[in-house]
Structure 1
Amino acid sequence: MNWRTKSENRLEKMGEKITQHPKKIILLMILLSMLVISNIPKITIDTSTEGFLHANDPALVKYEKFKEQFGQDEKIMVVVETKNVFDLEVLKKLQSLHNELQNSVPHLNDITSLVNARNTRGQGDRLIVEDLLENFPQNEQELQAIKKIALNNAMYKNLLFNEAHTFTTIILEPSAYEATKGNNELEGFGEDSSNVELEFLTDPSKSEMVRAADKIAKEFKSENFNVFIAGSLAVNDYNKQSVQKDMQKFVKLVLLMMMVFLFVVFRRISAVILPIFIVVISLLTTVGTMALVGTPITIPTQILPSFLLAVGIGAVVHLLAMFFKHLNANGDKNKAISYSLGHSGLAIIMTSLTTAAGLLSFSTASIAPIADLGIFAAAGVMIALVNTIVLLPAILATLPIKPAKAKQIEKSQKMDAILIAIADFSFFHAKKIVISSVVIIVVWVYFASTVEFKHDPLSWQPDDSPVKLSTAKVDHALRGSVTMEVILDTKKENGLYNSDLLKKIDRLVQEAQELKTDKHFVGKGWSVAEVLKEIHRALHANQEEYYAITDNDALIPQEFLLFENSGSDDLEDLVDSSFSKARLTFKLPWMEAGEYAEISDKLTNLLESELGDSVEVTVTGMVPLFQRTLSAAMSSMAVSYVVAFILIAIMMVILLGSVKIGLISMIPNVLPIIMTIGFMSMVNMPLDMFTMLVGAIVIGLSVDDTVHFFHNFAKYHHRGLHVKESVENTMLGTGRALVATSIVLSLGFYVYMFASLNNLINFGILAGGAITIALFSNIILGPALLTLITKDK
């Protein structure tokens, strides 16, 4: 007696014990589940750019050090589109909007617009730094004077207004940290925050800001005053709102689809309610586990609920199919429970393990949400397994379930005839099927090799999305909506009191603004040099020829001191308190992450050519985080696919008891993956962090069908049946469940076609299609392979 037979016997005996004490088992299982489920109210949603990376990722560590020193670089842009920014009525309304945002948006660290833009000027021997509209113009003459000042300030252009003066922005800077007790935003000059543990502003707080700003923007929108929001925080929040809306929709659609399907298959109310109960309690337990350990729902992990519902129902269907088959034939409910566990229990355990192995291949991914998805989806599969083979039989034992009527059995026989026809086709045309499959694999490998990897959270939004349209407007009119941050560290106190270095920084920023590629550009750059030039000009009677960095090193600290004494805190955003580090900010348009490479390389080369080894250069900000996310996703995909294939192949060898059969069994599972990736290349669909999930997920699910088919084929063949009879009996015993579970799974994935986000729509099309291909591969190519490699005894 081999280990598989022993395992089946033990599972059958386990079924007998469950039928003896069903109520105690139900009570214990429900109590344990409810303890975990009670944590669900603590679950959070995170769609931030930082949330895609692990806490110890070098790019994220670098970015958080930047935030500790200089605060948030992600801003909310409240944009006003009008006929003429420099119109008295427009400026009055802009001032009202500015004040309302300042007073009503939570977690606000700073707000900048034409209302309070820095205006540095000299008056006699005094340096005055005031707001541009500190003295609001009362007539056309005063308005023209204000306009002249604004047009003469290099910092305002493409930051606070565009060249055509038809757009103006109000820039909202979030607080760096959460406003918790004992946290007084200990940032800036001379403050010691070393003994206070601070938490960076969380994604929910950022969303709170975005939604408050968006609400106010809509209230102020009117004719000749079109107000909208843009920026990476707005994009993230729109994606989050789509996640929240879609998750509820997906769960409802999957549940409805499963209920209809189960009723069509089994024609029993009990066969609808029981599976739904099992998969729902398994899902809730999984989500409760995520909440318990503090793992948020992210854009990738939002597929978890509908995925687990679809996968969980597959295992339940396999068990119920055998249960009802035996019940209809013998009429004994308890024996039917034991028989179904003995017949399908091992296969269900094996398939759950292979599915979990496929999912766990993501657990080492460099993309944090992908790793979370791998871990918790695998945990969910195992929770569903325990509920299927323990809780479900216990519930079946307590319910008054009767055998099916004759009409239902007659319909089942029609399905059996179709399955027999498929089995015979595979048996008699085995060589042709295998050769054709090899040709298909070779052709589709060629297409798969040309697929492109992309990462662009904005592209996930539909084309008519407000945030997508507003970002395009801002990129065109105001020359960019995301930033690349550069930190120059002189490694010594007062290292910035150096006119040569400051002139290099100034020249670097000016040259950077001239950089462009065929499609892309640096829309704006600024640094502490602009402040010094403003000071120098103001101290020389506001004469334009003095808008330059002084040649006198000794004068630099005096100019800085005069500026600080004027009451302005703008230096905090540009240098550190010891004047050893300088911050350079470059504004770029929103692009797909890979498209930043060329312009990023040009900037990096410019930094090296201008500065050499004179200072330590650190590049961070949103653009580098996008680029890091892309490279991390690419490496994660490569590793996860290889790991999934190796883990599942090893398990198949062990489970099927043969190296040759185990490896051959992988062929029907590789075929759908290759065809799916090839299809993506053919229709120019990007391989992103969502579509990359399809391969490892589908291979884990497809292997389930293979395990059931090969496992039951071996069982029949070992009993002495010929290959043809073994294939036919396997198709009758397992084929029905394979078709049923594949339909459930494919429909479970196809519901994503109703998503708000394009990346989820693509995921649904690909995953649903891959599962469908996997079904045909398993019931046609699988039997053909078994026919060729198995000899009759």
Structure 2
Amino acid sequence: MVVFTTFAPIFNTLMKKKLKVGFWEFIARIVLKNRIVILGVIVFITLFLALQWKNIQFSFTEANLLPDNHIINKEYNAFLDKFGEEGNLIVVGVKDDAFFTPKAFAAWTKLMSELKAQKAVDLIISISDLKKLQKNESLQTFELVPFVDQSQTVNKAYLDTIKKDLFQNMPFYEGLLFNKKNGTIRSAIYLDKKIVNTAHRKDYIVNDFIPKIEAFEKETGIDLRVSGMPYIRTLNAMSIMNEISLFIGVSLLLTSLIFFFFFRSYRATLIAIIIVIIGVMWTFGLLGLFHYQITVLTALVPTLVIVIGIPNCIFLTNKYQQEYVAHGNKARALQRVITKVGTATLMTNLTTAAGFATFIITNSELLKEFGIISSLSIVALFFLCLIIIPIYYSYQPVPKEKHLRHLSRNYTKVFMAWIEKMVKYNRRHVYLVAIFLFLISSIGAFKIKTSGSLIEDMPKNTGFYQDILFFEQEFDGIMPLEITIDTKRKKGVMKLSTLRKMDELQETIEEIPELSKPISILNLVKYSKQAYYNGNPEYYDLPTSQEQSFILGYAKNATKNTQNNIMKSYVDSTGQVARITTFMRDIGTGNMATIENKLWTKINKIFPSDRYKVVMTGKALVFEKGTKYLLDNLLMSLLFAVFLISLLMVFMFRSFKMVVVSLIPNLLPLMITAGLMGYFGIPLKPSTILVFSIAFGLSVDDTIHFLAQYRQELTRNNWKIKKSVFATIRESGLSMFYTSVVLFSGFSVFMLSDFGGTVALGGLIAITLAFGMLSNLMLLPCLVLTLNKSLTNKQEFIEPKIDVLSKPEKETKDSDK
């Protein structure tokens, strides 16, 4: 209210004057005549948004790329409602002959006991306190009795016997606790499902779990391997958080150094840094204000603000210095920073924001939040730049000669002269090169493959990623794939006919090399038969029709009486729905589809749809389907970006030819990028999918700057096309070069990431922007010259209904400077 009251009289006065001046002259007067008030409002907004930081949280789940109402999401949520969080398993593995020695085994037992005592742990299955089924004939049930006599573990011979007995006589635990072929041992640690998707998971992993693992390794000298979704999520999230600081710091340093190199001015560099820092603060404030979580995508937005903000500062600072050199009047130069480039800067920021905003239409909450935060941050950044830079320079001395030397440096003169020469004398060669690149890139684009792996983009040089590979090698993966079988009747799971069908399906799963040995109630039933025959492993099998009445009776009693066993989560409370869990390797989208088809072929064959309802779900499948969903929607979002930006161009120029001219130089770099992805084997995945819309929105900025300046030059040069084109190159070419270098360098910062997807995102956008710069400096003016040969008057540039472009003035040295 205070702000409104302060602004009201100023606003009313200026609105009366607005009819007599242009739109941007009106804005310039507001900014330059009310500097203190405007700066106060910016400080107020910054403080308000800073107070919202307390609401910022990091995402504790994997990126869900599917809409909430998608059938895959509905099935997965139904599974969670029935069986709880499936990603609550941590595995600790060891492959060392020294494990079965008294010292190491005692340390292992101690480690498992300490972990089991934690409130965050729900259940531990480990050799040290392993239970085996034993028949109790008097009670007609099975009892769980200790597999290891702890009093004998000081004896090496006894431990060797335990090892032999485990590998030969305990098929129930094969694939879960040991690899019989390689001799690898592991423990299964099931966390409390209530903490898996909360901050308590990180606290437990970092403060309790990891220190105990490290203490064991230090005591025994044995290297432990740790994996599982809770562990991977936590360390992966910590890596992302660390990279946020890295990206912000490096991008700010790099872009600031480039800015200083161009302008050789500490004052200019300082205000650019202040502006982007405020922009970053606003971005974090918007995340808190909307209660959005920091995800792998929203974590990139602060760096994007820096990378996009510095070019804005470059363009406005360069225009101020050019204006001052032209007429030597500081006041007029500051006013024209707003009036002459206000529309062009607004449009460039709107097109950049539009490139990000297209993700809002994907129906994916993850991409929606990314699109909303990034587009709002970019628009806010535009106003910060347009307001703060003129106000700042109004309090500063006029530019010194050394600050203006960059306008006539030799390397810039040589580069711009080469551009002019190519456009003037080698237009045909420019077209031939463009056509050649398009054709070659088109061939490469057809070679692009897709990938939908949960772990593919994780940092390869980290210990937890190497542990993932270890468990893939030893136990066929750690990514859960779930199959639920609804028998449509209570206690239908324990029917022998159902168990036989499940057994047939599990045999198919075991035949697929990318999948691990499955776990289900079927394993317990087979183990029950083995226990009934006094633990003979030859009887680890389904009971026959003759055996089922008494063996399944024993098994039902054991399941009923034993609440703390691994099978309690594999049948629902009514006995109607069974769950089969298998784990899969990092196999990618194409292989996942093959495996899925193979499983569904078997499922449809053995489970009639009128008697059973079978659902396949799990983290790995949801992520793969999300990737496919994004791929299917990529073209739609890109076309929407093209359509939206074309509308902005129509509003700006009201010329169909200019829309065509603006699109061709910006679509060519996208095709070149697609070709490079195909030739170098870079797959389409959630990270690289973002490249095209983002790069298009950024690349078209140079086009707008060029065409806006071109239109002004036409009116200044009496509609002479060639003269106007080359005047435009000289006027805007330098700023386009500067901003493109900053964007290229800024996005290259992402290549410092340990995450493959982030590296690909930064590298591909940087390459696209580099080609975009050359395309806009060379192909664009060539197209303007070719398509506008017949232009003799204003017919190709109808005045917009709202005159937002400033009129070119005759430059004179004023006496009132």
Q: Distance in 1 between matches of 2:308 and 2:297?
A: 17
* Worse-superposed segment, 328-337 or 619-628: 328-337
| Matched residue, 2:408 | 412
1:528-677 matches, within 5 Å, as 528-539=521-532, 541-542=534-535, 547=540, 548-549=542-543, 551=545, 556=552, 559-566=555-562, 568-613=564-609, 614-677=611-674
* Worse-superposed segment, 644-653 or 81-90: 81-90
Alignment of 1:214 with 2:210, yes or no, is yes
* Worse-superposed segment, 257-266 or 742-751: 257-266
Q: Distance in 1 between matches of 2:629 and 2:689?
A: 12
AA of the residue aligned to 1:283: V
1:326 CA displacement: 1.9
1:294-693 matches, within 5 Å, as 294-365=291-362, 367-397=364-394, 399-405=395-401, 408-409=404-405, 412=408, 414=410, 415-416=412-413, 418-513=415-510, 515-516=511-512, 520-539=513-532, 541-542=534-535, 547=540, 548-549=542-543, 551=545, 556=552, 559-566=555-562, 568-613=564-609, 614-693=611-690
Q: Distance in 2 between matches of 1:542 and 1:47?
A: 43
Q: Decide whether the 8 Å contact of 1:331 with 1:402 is kept in 2.
A: no
1:291 CA displacement: 1.8
Q: Decide whether the 8 Å contact of 1:125 with 1:539 is kept in 2.
A: no
TM-score computed with the length of structure 1 as normaliser: 0.90
Secondary structure of 1:455's counterpart equals coil
AA of the residue aligned to 1:782: L
* Worse-superposed segment, 695-704 or 559-568: 559-568
Q: Distance in 1 between matches of 2:749 and 2:157?
A: 62
Alignment of 1:748 with 2:785, yes or no, is no
Secondary structure of 1:480's counterpart equals coil
1:176 CA displacement: 2.0
| Matched residue, 2:114 | 100
| Matched residue, 1:729 | 727
Q: Decide whether the 8 Å contact of 1:70 with 1:572 is kept in 2.
A: no
Secondary structure of 2:117's counterpart equals helix
- What whole-Å deviation, never above 9, does each CA across 1:125-150 have from its counterpart, x for those lacking one? 24312343365534467546644653
**Aligned pair partner of 2:95 in 51, 72, 81:** 81
Q: Distance in 2 between matches of 1:137 and 1:593?
A: 50
Q: Distance in 2 between matches of 1:83 and 1:6?
A: 88
1:18-57 matches, within 5 Å, as 18-46=31-59, 48-57=61-70
**Aligned pair partner of 2:176 in 142, 159, 162:** 159
AA of the residue aligned to 1:202: N
Secondary structure of 1:121's counterpart equals strand
Aligned CA distance change for structure 1 residues 617 and 557 (closer, same or farther; 3 Å):
farther
Aligned CA distance change for structure 1 residues 710 and 6 (closer, same or farther; 3 Å):
farther
Aligned CA distance change for structure 1 residues 610 and 148 (closer, same or farther; 3 Å):
farther
AA of the residue aligned to 2:197: T
- What whole-Å deviation, never above 9, does each CA across 1:165-209 have from its counterpart, x for those lacking one? 63211212222224xxxxxxxxxxxxxxxxxxxxxx325443334
- What whole-Å deviation, never above 9, does each CA across 1:247-281 have from its counterpart, x for those lacking one? 21111111112222222222222211112211221
Q: Decide whether the 8 Å contact of 1:319 with 1:345 is kept in 2.
A: no
AA of the residue aligned to 1:631: K
Unaligned runs of 5+ in 2: 1-17, 793-817
1:297 CA displacement: 1.7
| Matched residue, 1:189 | none
- What whole-Å deviation, never above 9, does each CA across 1:676-708 have from its counterpart, x for those lacking one? 111111111222222222211111011110001
AA of the residue aligned to 1:173: Y
Q: Distance in 1 between matches of 2:491 and 2:564?
A: 20
Q: Distance in 2 between matches of 1:681 and 1:697?
A: 19
Secondary structure of 2:185's counterpart equals strand
Q: Distance in 2 between matches of 1:353 and 1:716?
A: 23
1:418 CA displacement: 4.3
| Matched residue, 1:248 | 245
Q: Decide whether the 8 Å contact of 2:441 with 2:672 is kept in 1.
A: yes
AA of the residue aligned to 1:68: D
* Worse-superposed segment, 112-121 or 422-431: 422-431
- What whole-Å deviation, never above 9, does each CA across 1:31-53 have from its counterpart, x for those lacking one? 01220122224322226325444
| Matched residue, 1:177 | 194
Give % identity. 22
Q: Distance in 1 between matches of 2:75 and 2:448?
A: 31
* Worse-superposed segment, 697-706 or 443-452: 443-452
Alignment of 1:168 with 2:185, yes or no, is yes
Q: Distance in 2 between matches of 1:778 and 1:534?
A: 71
AA of the residue aligned to 1:437: A
1:713-724 matches, within 5 Å, as 713-719=710-716, 720-724=718-722
1:741 CA displacement: 0.6
AA of the residue aligned to 1:219: A
AA of the residue aligned to 1:523: S
| Matched residue, 2:81 | 68
1:462 CA displacement: 4.7
1:143-158 matches, within 5 Å, as 143=159, 146-147=162-163, 149-150=165-166, 151-158=168-175
Q: Decide whether the 8 Å contact of 2:355 with 2:696 is kept in 1.
A: yes
* Worse-superposed segment, 623-632 or 222-231: 222-231
Aligned CA distance change for structure 1 residues 778 and 92 (closer, same or farther; 3 Å):
same
| Matched residue, 1:10 | 23
| Matched residue, 2:800 | none
Q: Decide whether the 8 Å contact of 2:316 with 2:389 is kept in 1.
A: no
| Matched residue, 1:194 | none
Unaligned runs of 5+ in 1: 179-200
Q: Distance in 1 between matches of 2:558 and 2:81?
A: 26
* Worse-superposed segment, 25-34 or 548-557: 548-557
Q: Distance in 1 between matches of 2:497 and 2:293?
A: 49
Q: Distance in 2 between matches of 1:65 and 1:22?
A: 57
* Worse-superposed segment, 530-539 or 570-579: 530-539
Q: Decide whether the 8 Å contact of 2:487 with 2:577 is kept in 1.
A: yes
Q: Distance in 2 between matches of 1:96 and 1:80?
A: 15
Alignment of 1:132 with 2:128, yes or no, is no
Aligned CA distance change for structure 1 residues 600 and 116 (closer, same or farther; 3 Å):
farther
Q: Decide whether the 8 Å contact of 2:460 with 2:754 is kept in 1.
A: no
1:534 CA displacement: 2.9
Aligned CA distance change for structure 1 residues 28 and 176 (closer, same or farther; 3 Å):
same
Secondary structure of 1:619's counterpart equals strand
Q: Decide whether the 8 Å contact of 2:124 with 2:189 is kept in 1.
A: yes
Aligned CA distance change for structure 1 residues 529 and 654 (closer, same or farther; 3 Å):
same
Secondary structure of 2:652's counterpart equals helix
| Matched residue, 2:801 | none
Q: Decide whether the 8 Å contact of 1:482 with 1:589 is kept in 2.
A: yes
| Matched residue, 1:192 | none
Q: Distance in 1 between matches of 2:251 and 2:766?
A: 13
* Worse-superposed segment, 634-643 or 459-468: 459-468
* Worse-superposed segment, 142-151 or 606-615: 142-151
Aligned CA distance change for structure 1 residues 773 and 47 (closer, same or farther; 3 Å):
farther
Secondary structure of 2:86's counterpart equals coil
Aligned length: 761
Q: Distance in 1 between matches of 2:21 and 2:642?
A: 27
Q: Distance in 2 between matches of 1:345 and 1:759?
A: 36
1:321 CA displacement: 1.4
AA of the residue aligned to 2:514: F
AA of the residue aligned to 1:114: I
1:112-123 matches, within 5 Å, as 112-123=125-136
RMSD (Å) for aligned C-alpha atoms: 2.7
